[in-house]
Structure 1
Amino acid sequence: MIRYSLVCEAGHGFESWFPSSDSYDEQAARGLVTCPVCDSAKVSKALMVPRVARTDRERSSVPVPAQPDQPQTLIAEPERQVRAMLRALREHVVAHSEHVGERFPEEARKIHYGETEGRSIYGEASAAEARALIEEGIEVAAIPILPDDRN
């Protein structure tokens, strides 16, 4: 796992973990890496200083204080409950729908116009593609992605 320090176009700094650098590149290219503050997908890697564990002395049991330049978040109980409901919604959709990936706009049209059997599907669509589907009268909705789900 690789932890990257990231920054959005508005200057919000945050961190995220990725299985590999290729995974980060792929997710960033697909617009899946977004700022937790402003939800901007225009994110880049910030300058990072690697942390190397010292072996010449014992580890301290004193917790390391948070860096002052890093955003800190305290999540209140109501927000925890909302996140739990959103996570449950996402899990329900995934469990009871067919994943069609990037073919989502095409498959949604086929179902809407009766070219294929009706069924629940989910996948990826750009904002422009989703708008076009809605303008055609095709009901679509975004599945919320929580910050925890992006890691």
Structure 2
Amino acid sequence: MKVLNLQCRHGHAFEGWFGSDEDFRLQQERGLLECPLCADTEIQKMPSAPRLNLSGAKEEAPAAPAETRALSPEAQTLQAMWLRAVRHVMEHTEDVGERFAEEARRIHYGEAEARNIRGQASREDTEALLEEGIEVLPLPVPAALKGPVQ
């Protein structure tokens, strides 16, 4: 099993587990890899060579270029918090799918039971809901979280 450090074009870093480098390459070519945070499919493998210091020398490694550095601990914490927030929303809302705008209006105008919902809405529908005073929050959900919540 190979554990690879991966990164999307937006700088989100994550791990991928593959049977081999060839498995990674094939999945990448077929567009099967995506960022768990933003669902971007433009994924690159980041350098990750273990450094063994067998001589006991205390030589510092040169800094990696900015585009290959791992995320700072603060950025990793923010990513983890964002994923927890998305999971919380997924666990505590009802998925009404493409009927989101219609159902949000029904709830707002008292025609349906008040409850927390989520779903898909076009930009135009979202803007119209906001103009009507209906509070909505666009939240991109990574494809990996769109299935059953575990």
Instruction: Give TM-score scaled by structure 1 length.
Output: 0.52
Alignment of 1:92 onto 2:80: no
Instruction: Supply the RMSD in Å over aligned alpha carbons.
Output: 3.5
- CA separation in 2, counterparts of 1:73 and 1:145? 26
Q: How far apart are 1:84 and its partner, in Å?
A: 0.9
Helix, strand or coil: the match of 2:33?
strand
- 2:131 counterpart residue number: 135
- CA separation in 2, counterparts of 1:91 and 1:33? 15
* Structure 2 runs not aligned, ≥5 long: 1-22, 43-48, 50-66
CA distance 1:129–1:73, change in 2 (3 Å): farther
Q: Report how many aligned residue pairs link the two structures.
A: 97
- 1:23 counterpart residue number: none
* Structure 1 runs not aligned, ≥5 long: 7-14, 19-31, 37-62, 64-70
- CA separation in 2, counterparts of 1:33 and 1:148? 8
Alignment of 1:113 onto 2:129: no
Q: How far apart are 1:126 and its partner, in Å?
A: 1.5
Structure showing greater Rg = 2
Q: Contact 2:33/2:41 (CA < 8 Å) preserved in 1?
A: no
Letter in 1 for 2:82: L
